[in-house]
Amino acid sequence: MPDPLLSVVVPFYGVEAYIGDCLESIAAQNYRNIEVVMIDDGSLDGSREVAQQWVDRDDRFRIITQENAGLGPARNTGTANSNGEYLTFIDSDDLVTRHSFAMMMSTIEYSGSSLVLSNARRFSRTSGVRQSWTHQEIARRTVLGTHILERPSLVRDRMVWNKLYRRSFWDDHGYAFPAIRYEDYPVTLKAHLDALTVDIVSSHCYYWRERESGDSITQQVYKYGNMLDRVISAEAVLDIADSQGSPAVRQRLHNYLGEIDFVSLVQAFSAVDDAEAQPVLDLSHRLVDRLTHFNIKSRPRLDQLQYHALKANDVDLLRELAVFRRDGGNIGGVLATRKRTRPWRFEAEFPGRGRSTAPRTTYEYPITSLVQTTAVTDVRWREGHLAVQGVAEIAHLATDADSDLRINLVNGIDRHPLPVRRIDAVDQHAERTPVGFEALVDIDRLAQENTLVWPLRFEVETTVKGIHRVGNLRGARGGSPSFPPGRWLGPGEWVQPTKAAGTQFTLRNEVDPVVLDRTEVGDDRITLQGFIPGTCRHAHLVVVRRRPLEDVTVACELELTRDGTRFAVDLPIAAVLAGEAPDDPFTLSSARRLELTTDLGSFPMLWTTYRHDAAVEDGDRLVSLSRTAYGAAVLHHTPLRPSTRTLEITQDAVEVGGAWWRGAPPQWMNWRRYIPGTDDHVDVDASPVFSDDGSWTSRTPLGDLVPPCDVETSVAPGAPAADWTLFTKIGDAEVAVAAEPGAIQQMPQERAVLGRYFTALSIAGTTRTQVR
């Protein structure tokens, strides 16, 4: 039987800058039997011209034109003019992975379910790619033949676009999107409840764009019409749940709407004028009065205070609380002071204390709320010692010079106190306080004096204002070291700082690993040489590729030595790229695992001499040998784009160096910062110098990166005064310059100059400089 036809509905309006990439990701699907129905919703920019280019080159694409009616009616038009046995919707500024349609089609055909949904990632040019918070719980693992009545957490799955529907199911229930904003949710929830069964795919098939302006700070959020549509959508969803949902579904839904939609409404009081206050108050009551199962006591205290202020119709307090949240007062958890009469509770410094109708305890934190928070900010080896820098503090308490910090290296049941130096650093409230530390580990002496029980972990003891907390050192926050360097601990034993379960920071060891210690780049190959501990008769290097592609297997040359076996292998670039296509539709890159398969077993290769990626240019693609966060060699193929290999903040400049490729010479390279609340940006020329040997250097005076004091748009609460990302232009594409692991090992770097703190760091693999 022929493959069933899939209809892909793509409405567009005012997305000239994005729709080309969206349609490219659809055309690149390895499932080919599709029709792409594009609806021009009266677009006034050049979006139509971009879409027409795809109609001209691919007969699967066609355009339907209508007067501007909004996203919901445009989707309805696309559905009415589509013919497939299956149906999916793509927003015109988003992307889909090349295996998206094939994976969801094979899943729903196998299961017979009414619809299938996938996991999703968020992406932007400055923040890179990351897990979508909305879909993290929903699509944590693949499940076939489930239902929202069985998994009430699916009430959070409010978007229409990460799904594929059986068309007969869609038509039987007569789904249509309402002509409002927030049009997805009524259709999505109804489909979940109507479905016979639903499939969940944990693979990230959908990429959800995050504009640099941010979803929560656009100019339209607090317009009355926008808020009215939000409430109308919520009411429709509540009506559906009342008629078809179980008590568990209704409970989850009420709490979810209270968590998201209620907070969005009351935050409008930070922007509306006096004339609009009463309509917004009425609209907020209209929603909250329906949320009869909303457990407000389970929400954060600021949410509770806004809820009680709304119930009391206290517009003045609603304004104060909304402005407090908007201006960052709640960042990191509001500060608190110990109550004299009840020393086991702490008074929170929220607006309205003494005149709010909220219960008195809403302005208090129990002592159990004062938890320790930690993060690693830098990891380096210095003179045989491992220097670990980080921050440690207690939530809701201001750290001062009188606070106490102790760090132990935990070896089995033994604890070894480490020398600790306190330093100033940015705390959870975006202030510079003595929350920072540097701890030194003499791993050689420890190994000589003790039997080490791996992995070793770091135990942090913090005392602030008489409150004592103990916990493990954690290793995750923006700019935390993601590629920390390792080193040898005696013959045949490698020590690697890394993150273990969750975000716990540990030291782990590798005993007698297979070692990659030499690389050489040719015109059409990368040569790898290394050492296998043990006597081998045969060995093959295997590049593990995605199905249906076969793995690439190359025989190694072996040389027996007194201590083991030396290996050498030429990896042919043409074989690596044969049949390949990017897995990531945003970065247009793929990562491939490498294994050395021998008669002793299959092993990763630990790249102990890594300095920077070894790369070969092949047409418009780059094949590079890099390393993972755990030190293992990995193979990437990416577009030809410059990369950063060195970065240093000197006394007067940011100096950067890296590699570029003759097949794609950069047109320019700039430091770019986006103006908060907009998609506008400011550029500073990085003044790159490109050498014939494929290297480039850049030197930018620090003064050029200091923002003017009278900037029209203030920075977001808690953010640096300026957050610069290094951008380059290759052809028509403006992209962030990626930092190689070797460069990231040098970060972060901080220097106090010109009355500012300059920090060089990498977030999501980008090259960044922040100014505070």
Q: Could you give the angle at the alpha carbon of 144 between the alpha carbons of 141 and 148, nearest 5°?
A: 85
Q: 70 near 179, Cβ under 8 Å?
A: yes
- The CA distance from 516 to 526, in Å, is 13
In DSSP terms, 649 is beta-bridged to 654
Among positive and negative, which fits the CA dihedral 629, 634, 637, 640?
positive
* Kind plus residue range of the DSSP H or E element containing 25: helix 19-27
Residues 6+ apart with CB under 8 A from 632: 594, 604, 605, 606, 607
Greater confidence (707 vs 460) lies with 460
Per-residue pLDDT band at 599 (split at 50, 70, 90): very high
Q: Is the pLDDT of residue 1 over 50?
A: no
Domain with CATH 3.90.550.10 in the chain: 6-209
Per-residue pLDDT band at 2 (split at 50, 70, 90): low
Phi, psi (rounded to 5 degrees) for 579: 80, -5
Average pLDDT, whole number, for the chain? 93
Q: What is the DSSP letter of 551?
A: P
Q: Is the pLDDT of residue 487 over 70?
A: yes
Q: Is the pLDDT of residue 412 over 60?
A: yes
CATH pick for 6-209 out of 3.90.550.10, 2.40.50.250, 3.75.10.10, 3.30.43.10: 3.90.550.10
In DSSP terms, 12 is beta-bridged to 40
Q: What is the DSSP string of 264-323?
A: HHHGGGGT--HHHHHHHHHHHHHHHTT-TT--GGGS-HHHHHHHHHHHTT-HHHHHHHHH
CATH 2.60.40, applies to 515-639 = yes
Q: Is the pLDDT of residue 675 over 80?
A: yes
Per-residue pLDDT at 499: 81
Per-residue pLDDT at 331: 87
Domain with CATH 2.60.40.2440 in the chain: 372-480
Greater confidence (405 vs 402) lies with 405
Per-residue pLDDT tens over the stretch 350-377: 999 999 999 999 999 999 999 999 999 9
Per-residue pLDDT tens over the stretch 255-273: 999 999 999 999 999 998 8
Per-residue pLDDT tens over the stretch 509-558: 999 999 999 999 999 999 999 999 999 999 999 999 998 899 999 999 99
Per-residue pLDDT band at 322 (split at 50, 70, 90): very high
Domain spanning 643-771, CATH class: mainly beta
Region of 283 on the Ramachandran plot (φ > 0 left; ψ -120 to 50 alpha; else beta):
alpha
Q: Residue 367's CB: how many other CB atoms inside 10 A?
A: 11
In DSSP terms, 122 is beta-bridged to 130, 208
* Two structure tokens written together for 285: 């009551």
Q: What is the DSSP letter of 152?
A: G
Q: Is the pLDDT of residue 316 over 90?
A: yes
If you average pLDDT over residues 292-311, what whole number do you get? 96
Q: b/e for 325-364, b at 16 or more Cβ within 10 A?
A: bbeebbbbbbbbebeeeeeebbbbebbbeeebebeeebbb
Tell me, which fold does domain 372-480 have in CATH? Answer: Immunoglobulin-like (2.60.40)
Q: What is the DSSP string of 330-348?
A: TTTS--EEE-SSSTTEEEE
Tell me which of 176-185, 221-230, 248-257, 625-634 is least confident: 221-230
Per-residue pLDDT band at 624 (split at 50, 70, 90): very high
E strand map for 24-114: 34-41, 61-66, 86-89, 95-96
725: amino acid identity, one letter = T
Per-residue pLDDT at 66: 96
Q: Which runs of consecutive H residues, i.e. helices, occur in 127-208?
A: 133-136, 167-173, 184-194
Q: 310 near 302, Cβ under 8 Å?
A: no
Q: Is the pLDDT of residue 710 over 60?
A: no
* Two structure tokens written together for 671: 């430091």
Per-residue pLDDT at 3: 63
Tell me which of 50-59, 289-298, 702-711, 741-750 is least confident: 702-711
Nearest to 204 by CA among 12, 19, 25, 51: 25
Q: Is the pLDDT of residue 214 over 50?
A: yes
